[in-house]
Each structure stands twice: as C-alpha cells, then as structure tokens.
Chains A and B, each alone.
Chain A
C-alpha cells in the first residue's frame, strides 16, 4: 500500500464546477504539499500545510492531522485548471517529499 493515496485518479469536470481532490496518508508527517504539474512537466507548489486551511484565489486546501487526510478544492473551475494535481508529504526530518500518484483533472469548456 502506498504511503500517500489520492482520489480520484482521473477527474473530468465542466467549466464552473466545484472540484475536490482527496489525499490520505499513512505515516506521520511534518507537512503536506499540494503540487500542480502541467503537461510540459513543470511543477508548481500550490500549498504547504501543517494544519488547518489555506486559500489562494480559487484554490482552497485543508488538512486534518488526526484523520491523516487533506483535500484540495477548486471553486469555479476553468479549462486552464486542467493539470495533474499531486499530494506530497514530508516525513519528519527526512527532508524529501513522498508523492501520491496524482489526480489528472480535465476541465471542459
């Protein structure tokens, strides 16, 4: 079993829909990241969370440390949001990120 599980693997939405991507992890962590990867391969760090909730524009990320679960929400989705969204965690002092397999989001106009 992977240490970081994401769902769904693939998601197709219509423009304007509210989108939720879930991430569950099975290890103790010091922080969780949400990353966005576009088809060219480049990765952008969207959020880093260790507790609570963060908001940036139409993106909202929440984390529940007790339940070992995080969600990424996109409000009023747009075709330019189409990308792979990756959840990644940092385990204590290990430094490196452990990645989920990603959620491929496609937003149709």
Chain B
C-alpha cells in the first residue's frame, strides 16, 4: 500500500511568488492535514480537510489556503511568499478522528 505522497520534495521560490504543494493520502483516507515546521520551531497546524471541506484552520494568514479534491488528494497554496514561509511542510492523512495518522515525507519550501 502506497503511503502519503507529497510533491515536490523541494521547492525554491522568490519572495512575492506563489507556491503550490501537493499531497496524496493513503487510499481510503478521507482526512488530510497540513502542518508547517519552520527551522528551529515545532510543528504547527495549518489546515484540515475532510470529505472535500475545510474542517479546521490554524493560526495562519489567509494567504495560506488549500483545497481537497474528490479523490481526497489535497493542495496547499501559499500566496505572496515571505522569507519566513521557508519551512518543511508536512501532510498527514487519516481515515477518521482518533485513528492513527500517517505522515508524508514533506516538501521543503525555500523562499529567497
């Protein structure tokens, strides 16, 4: 069974540009979570999608947005990139609440 896959692995963007990160959950998992891990900081919750809808959102500005497609894959979009957006972005999926999460390997975004 394929795990959670994220693409691209690495992404370099210029300040002010937009970045799009993609996540494919484990087959059958309907929930997708996005987390940010900035250098030297802990993991921070970004977004939770379930059954195509945004269920919860972390304390991030509106330029962080995303969506979940009918096949449960998800995109994270970051507009008007700032230097401090440089981080490892991790996606996780689960079948339902309180069931184990599976994490992807992450996308390392560098904003220059």
A40, A43, A48, A96: the one contacting B45 at CB < 8 Å is A96
Looking at chain B's contact residues, the main secondary structure is strand
Asked if A90 and B43 make an inter-chain contact with CB atoms under 8 angstroms apart, the answer reads no
Asked if B45 and A97 make an inter-chain contact with CB atoms under 8 angstroms apart, the answer reads yes
Pair count A-B, CB < 8 A = 62
Query: Shortest beta-carbon distance, A94 to chain B, in Å?
Result: 6
Asked if B102 and A102 make an inter-chain contact with CB atoms under 8 angstroms apart, the answer reads no
Asked if A41 is at the interface (CB within 8 A of a chain B CB), the reply is: yes
Q: How far is the CA of A90 from the CA of B100 in the complex (A)?
A: 11
Question: For residue B48, which residues in chain A have a CB less than 8 angstroms away from its CB?
Answer: 95-96
Q: Which of A35-89 contact B (CB under 8 A)?
A: 35, 40-45, 48, 50, 86, 88
Q: Which of B86-101 contact A (CB under 8 A)?
A: 88, 90, 92, 97-101
Asked if B103 and A50 make an inter-chain contact with CB atoms under 8 angstroms apart, the answer reads no
Q: How far is the CA of A41 from the CA of B108 in the complex (A)?
A: 9
Q: How many chain B residues touch the partner (CB < 8 A)?
A: 26
Asked if B37 and A41 make an inter-chain contact with CB atoms under 8 angstroms apart, the answer reads yes
Asked if A25 is at the interface (CB within 8 A of a chain B CB), the reply is: no
Q: Which residue of A lies closest to B34 (CB)?
A: A96
Name 8 interchain pairs, CB-CB below 8 A, sorted by A.
A30-B97, A41-B37, A42-B105, A48-B98, A48-B100, A50-B98, A98-B45, A99-B43
10 closest Cβ contacts across the A-B interface?
A43-B103, A96-B45, A99-B43, A101-B42, A42-B105, A95-B48, A31-B98, A41-B106, A48-B100, A41-B88
